[in-house]
Amino acid sequence: MTKRFKFLIPLLLVLTLTLTGACASAMPSPSMPEPSEKWAGDATEKYVEEQGYPGREIPVDLNVERKIVKSGRISLEVESVVTTMGEIASIADELGGYVVSSDKYETDEGPSANMNIRIPVEKFDQAFDRLRQLAIDVPHESTDSMDVTEEYVDLQARLHNLQATESQYLALLEKAESVEDTIQVWRELSNIREQIEQIEGRMKYLERTSDMSFIHISLSEPGALAGPWSPSNAIRSAIRGLVTFLRGIVTALIWIGIFCWIWIPALVFYLRRRRKSRM
């Protein structure tokens, strides 16, 4: 009887372990905890590792064409401001550019004008040559070049990184299992999309300004510096001179009155010494 009992003990142990494992597998698994606020960020890092993205070091083509922003200013003394404004507009159109703005105004010295034009950067020097030919004299001109290639490449790299991150979040959006997860991903997507639009806008601006140079032109008529004489102008000039003279006198009297506590005692002391010396 004892031998049979010793034989049955191992058999019962094996049977017990088998039934326990079966019951455990049949029991429902415990529910997963709710995702934390960092769910999107943690899931993104995991997705990046699974897809093989090397972090933010996404390769960018550095062999881009150099981006040079050219600008210039030139002052022209011309026979007719109005006529020259039309000729400048024609030059801009012939060179493939356009007039950005123009402003004509009258001053005491005569008519003047300001014009801003954009010209293809490869025709920048040609435009300056054509503008000089319109003038009687060129009192002032200046040019400036700014290399924005480094900024453009940096923006390009940031754009590629953000676009890759946006794709990752779109993939995560399909895997979101709760409303909280969906809202979190949408919030991150909105932020990334805003950054992408800002960078794209800046890149388009650099592309446009590097392709089209900017020239500011000031126009004046030198003959207008010696305007016609008239009695009314002479009278107005004389009155302005008299007013200026009277203002100078009143200003001097005010200064003398304010500092009288200095010069009056000094004057009295001087007069007394002079009187004693004569006695």
The pLDDT of residue 62 is: 52
> Containing domain of residue 82, as a range?
68-146+213-224
What is the per-residue pLDDT for 118?
93
Query: pLDDT under 70 in the chain at which residues?
Result: 1-64, 223-230, 233, 279
Specify whether 76 is located in the same domain as 138: yes
Do 138 and 88 share a structural domain?
yes
What pLDDT score does 131 carry? Answer: 93
Q: How far does the chain reach from its first CA to its final CA, in angstroms?
A: 163
Q: Do 88 and 135 have their domain in common?
A: yes
Give the total number of structural domains in the chain: 2
* Helix, strand, coil % over all residues of the chain, rounded to 5: 65, 20, 20
> According to the model, what pLDDT value does residue 98 have?
93
Residue 43: predicted pLDDT: 45
Q: What is the pLDDT of residue 188?
A: 85
Strand pairing report for 98-107 and 110-120: antiparallel
| Residue 277 belongs to a domain | no
271: tokens are: 């007069």
User: Are 104 and 125 members of one domain?
Assistant: yes
Statement to judge: residues 110 and 155 lie in one domain: no
Compute, in degrees rounded to 10, the torsion defined by CA atoms 183, 185, 190, 191: 120
Beta strand pairing call for 68-77 and 212-220? parallel
pTM: 0.51
Q: What angle do CA 114, 115, 118 make, to 5 degrees?
A: 155
Per-residue confidence (pLDDT) for residue 272, from 0 to 100: 79
Residues 218 and 202 grouped into a single domain: no
Residues 142 and 165 in one domain: no
Distance (Å, whole) CA 55 – CA 212: 37
Q: 113 is written with which tokens? A: 């004008």
In this structure, the answer to whether residues 220 and 141 fall within a common structural domain is: yes
Same domain for 133 and 80, yes or no, is: yes
Q: Indicate whether 127 and 157 sit together in one domain.
A: no
For residue 261, the model assigns a pLDDT of 77
Which run of H or E residues covers position 220? strand 212-220
